[in-house]
């Protein structure tokens, strides 16, 4: 799993650099629109730290934080065939 995490982090860093923001951020987090992201942010429901950059409109996050969060989602929902019963 550490290898998978490292690969995802590397891929995101190559594509976005150390920060990801705006549409790329909210789409990567699974939001269909900026409005949905904004509402979740206002409700403090964004699971990673997001921040503003002075004189910029968008919200940003560290790419490594996004990668870690995405990997944590797969760990939380891994398939266990023994739980199927039968």
Show the CA angle centred on residue 52, arms to residues 69 and 32, nearest 5°: 55
What's the pLDDT score for residue 48?
97
Per-domain boundaries in the chain: 2-76
Report pLDDT for 85. 54
The residues of the chain scoring below 50 in pLDDT are 86
CB contact at 8 A, 19 and 60: yes
Q: What is the pLDDT of residue 3?
A: 72
pLDDT of residue 82: 58
Residue 33: predicted pLDDT? 96
Q: What is the pTM of this model?
A: 0.81
| End-to-end CA gap in the chain | 29
Q: What are the strands of the beta sheet with 59-62, ordered from one edge? A: 19-21, 59-62, 51-52
Give, as one character, the DSSP assignment of residue 76. H
């Amino acid at each position: 799993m550490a290898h998978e995490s490292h690969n995802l982090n590397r891929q995101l860093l190559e594509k976005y650099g150390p920060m990801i923001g705006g549409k790329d951020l909210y789409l990567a987090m699974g939001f269909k629109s900026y409005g949905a992201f904004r509402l979740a942010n206002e409700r403090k429901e964004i699971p990673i730290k997001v921040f503003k950059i002075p004189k910029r409109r968008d919200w940003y996050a560290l790419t490594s934080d996004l990668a870690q969060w995405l990997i944590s989602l797969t760990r939380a929902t891994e398939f266990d065939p023994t739980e199927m019963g039968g």
